[in-house]
Structure 1
Amino acid sequence: MTNVIAFFDFDGTITTKDTLFEIIRFQKGSAAFYAGMLVLSPLLVMFKMKLISNQRMKEIVLRFFFRNDSFPVFQQLCDDFCRHRLPSLLRPKALNAIAWHQSEGHAVYIVTASAENWVAPWSQTLGIPCLGTRLAVKDDQITGLLEGKNCNGDEKVCRIREAVPLTAFETIYAYGDSSGDKEMLALAQHKGFRAFE
């Protein structure tokens, strides 16, 4: 078993854009996306002013666009997004870093605030586990709520510790691009902050 592990944030680190907005545009179309953003703009301003938490704002956006959508249809469209739209959003330098870690036999994980639904189908093609935000589903429909906490900040570390016995690894790498990654970066001896831009 390798004694080196690498944790990669997804949005902004591996990708060039926030994939929450991209998945909305992919599933609902540009016109619906921009109309929705206009309706939600006062709340987005409050979020930027830190008057609304990350989790609450994410749930507001998810409820607005996806509440009561069929979960099987939603997931199929997430799979399609990973095949057809996501490749154009990936940073080549990040992909090279992932490939290097894998070639060295290191364990690699994606740890993301984005929903596992539209990240894991891609990461699994590379044989990489995804620790991400989980969407609540009831009666095979999207509720727009999260199952548990948004996988950001301290929650990234909690999810890592749940999934990985860190004491088994002598060397830890972590890559991120925002304040939501600082706790994960603090776990690592080798920190890559905005390393792929």
Structure 2
Amino acid sequence: MGGEIQLTDKKVIAAFDFDGTITTRDTLPVFVWYATKLWRILSGTLMVVPFVALFKLKVIPNYQAKERLFKAFFAGVKVDKFTALCTGFKSVIDKLVNPDALAKIRWHHEQGHEVIIISASAENWINPWAIEQGIKTVLATQLQVIDDKITGVFLTKNCHGPEKVARLLAAYPDRKNYILYAYGDSNGDKELLAFADHSFYRSY
């Protein structure tokens, strides 16, 4: 499948997971090191470790551990500063991109398909890279901002697992009217892959 041109009158959407699918690794820890001063990394790590342990023991869900991480490292950061950091991070993402994934994105564009990204990462650092690649729609985790500062709280549900399908349907509700390609690499993508007409797990 993959490289063939599909003749259809229906709209075609190609949905890509980001971390581990478009990129070769999870971008969250890379962004933390890029955007955070050493003293905050040290203090934040001490705050986060207990929640990571609880997540590993399956006492708390993924989103709670992740939200605690955002609070530890980014709560109180001015949104303008955070946005500038996310924009600058694009050059780091470029170095992490899987060339096979980038080639498949370009192939879909050449076929006139709509390419979107669905990710559990924060949309803030995906958007600058996506825009440069001609990808207009990023369905990802959104962060709460109060008084022009990041709170560390998620404004939306963590875009992971079933939430990926929910976000897709919220943006594209007429499922019978489009053909869906989906690309993913983890258990967090399995619902999206199962929902697609053409699914690619750790392949392109």
1:96 aligned partner: 103
Query: 2-side partners of 1:31 and 1:2: how far apart?
Result: 53
Q: 168, 175, 180: which is aligned to 1:166?
A: 175
Q: 158, 163, 183: which is aligned to 1:155?
A: 163
1:45 equivalent in alignment to 2:85: no
Change (3 A) 1:148 1:105: same
The C-alpha deviation readout for 1:106-132, integer Å capped at 9, x for no partner, is 111100000110001111112211100
- Give the ranges of 4+ consecutive aligned residues of structure 1 lying more than 6 Å apart after TM superposition: none
Q: SS of the residue aligned with 1:124? A: helix
Residues 19-38 of structure 1 mapped to structure 2, 5 A cutoff: 19-29=27-37, 32-33=40-41, 36-38=44-46
TM-score, normalised to structure 1's length?
0.92
Q: Which runs of 5+ in 1 are unaligned?
A: none
The C-alpha deviation readout for 1:153-174, integer Å capped at 9, x for no partner, is 11111110111132221x2210
Query: 2-side partners of 1:11 and 1:122: how far apart?
Result: 13
Query: Aligned-pair RMSD on alpha carbons?
Result: 1.7
- Report % sequence identity: 44
Query: 1-side partners of 2:42 and 2:199: how far apart?
Result: 36
Query: 1-side partners of 2:71 and 2:140: how far apart?
Result: 18
| TM superposition shift of 1:139 | 0.3
Q: 13, 17, 26: which is aligned to 2:21?
A: 13
Residues 19-168 of structure 1 mapped to structure 2, 5 A cutoff: 19-29=27-37, 32-33=40-41, 36-82=44-90, 84-128=91-135, 129-164=137-172, 165-168=174-177
Query: 1-side partners of 2:38 and 2:102: how far apart?
Result: 28
Query: 2-side partners of 1:125 and 1:15: how far apart?
Result: 15
Between 26-35 and 137-146, report the one with greater CA deviation. Answer: 26-35
Q: SS of the residue aligned with 2:195? A: coil
TM-score, normalised to structure 2's length?
0.89
Q: 182, 187, 192: which is aligned to 2:190?
A: 182
Q: 1:153, 1:184 within 8 Å by CA — same for their partners in 2?
A: yes
Query: 2-side partners of 1:105 and 1:2: how far apart?
Result: 11
Query: 1-side partners of 2:42 and 2:76: how far apart?
Result: 20
